[in-house]
Amino acid sequence: MHNKITPLTWQTDLKKKIDLDIQAIDDDFMLFDNVKVLPVFNYPFRVDVTTFIICSRGSSRGYTGLKYYETTAPCMITLLAGEILQHEFISDDFEGLFIVMSKRLTDNLLPNFQDRVPLDISIRENPVIPLCAEDLDLLKIYYAMLKAVVEMTENPHRKEIIRHLMIAFHYHSSSWLHKLPQQTASPTKQEEVVTAFMSLAEKYYKTERQAGFYAEKLHLTPKYLSQIVKTDTGKSANEWIDEYVILEAKALLKSSKLSIQQIADELNFADQSVFGKYFKRVEGISPKEYRRK
C-alpha cells in the first residue's frame, strides 16, 4: 500500500509569495501578518504545518476535519499539522499575526507523548479560543519576542530560543482551554454511545466502512447503533462513516499528487473502480471530475 501522503506544503507556497514580509528559520518556523495567504478554498485540504493565528480584527468560518468553527476577533485560532481544513469565509477586515511551525518543531515542543496527546485533543475540540484585551496584548508580546529572535540571524542558538518561547506560548494558551465553558450535565447513555462511535469512526474509517463493525465494538446491534446516532445527530452511522472517508478522499484528490489508484489504495478500496463508484454514490461526481473542478 502507498502510505506517503503529500499535503499542501505551506512552507514552500508561502515563500513563493514575494509580496509578503515573512520572517523564517529554515523550513521550521515562520512569522507573517498578511491574511491573504490564508486562502478561501471550496474544497478540503490537508496542511503539513501547525498554525497559530492571533486574530485582532474580523471574522472567519470553516471546518477542521468535520468540526465546524466560527471566529470573531479577538481570538486565537490553532490549526494543527495533519488536519484537513476548509476555509469558507474570511472577512475583508481580518487582521492577524501568524505563527507557522513545521510538524517536526511542533512535536519537539512537548517530546513527551503523554503530555502532547491531551493538549492536541483539547485543541482539536476547541480550535478557537476567545480572548480578552489583556490576553490579546500578551500574545502580541510573545509574537514581538519571537520576531526579535528570528531577526537575530547571527545568533547560533536562535532556534533553541524559539523552541523555549513556544513552549511557554503553548502552556500559556493551553491554560485558557481550561477556562472555556464546560458541559455541566452528565451525558446521557445515548450521548456516550454517539461519542464513542464518532471516536471509533475517526480511528477506523480507512479500513471499516460498515456500521456493523462499530456496533460490534460497542456491543450493540447495527440497527440500534444507527438509530441512536440518527436520533442524536440527524445522520445515520453509515452516513457519518461516508463523511470521514469522503473528506479524506477530497483532501487527497486536491492537496496531494497521488494518483487516483494510489488514493484508492490509501483508503483500502479493492481497486480504483470500486473507489470511483463509492465516491460517485456519495458525491454525485467521479474522483477525476472532482479533482479537475
pLDDT in tens, the chain (293 residues): 343 333 444 445 555 554 556 788 888 899 988 665 555 566 888 888 889 999 999 999 999 888 889 999 999 999 888 888 888 888 989 999 999 998 888 877 766 544 555 566 677 778 999 999 999 999 999 999 999 999 999 999 999 999 999 989 988 887 777 676 655 567 788 888 998 999 899 899 999 999 999 999 999 999 999 999 999 889 999 999 999 999 999 999 988 889 999 999 999 999 999 999 999 999 999 999 999 98
Phi, psi of 144 (to 5 degrees): -65, -40
Q: How far is the C-alpha of 152 from the C-alpha of 198, rounded, in Å?
A: 46
DSSP 133: H
**Residue 265 near residue 255, CB atoms below 8 Å:** no
Query: How do strand 45-46 and strand 23-25 relate by DSSP bridges?
Result: unpaired
Cα–Cα distance measured from residue 193 to residue 214, given in angstroms and rounded to the nearest whole number? 11
H or E stretch covering 246: helix 237-255
132: cell is 480578552
Domain 10-177 class in CATH: mainly beta
Q: What's the Cα-to-Cα distance from 29 to each of 22, 111, 199, rounded to whole Å?
A: 10, 17, 32
Which fold, 189-292? Arc Repressor Mutant, subunit A (1.10.10)
Look up residue 36 and give its amino acid: K
Rounded CA gap, 150 and 161, in Å? Answer: 9
Q: Taking the CA atoms of the chain, what radius of gyration do you get in angstroms? A: 21
Domain range list for the chain: 10-177, 189-292
pLDDT of residue 271: 95
- Report the predicted TM-score, pTM, of the whole model to 2 decimal places: 0.76
pLDDT at 105: 85
Predicted local confidence at residue 118, as pLDDT: 59
The predicted structure's pLDDT at residue 14: 53
From edge to edge, which strands make up the β-sheet containing 29-32?
23-25, 29-32, 95-102, 49-57, 75-79, 128-130
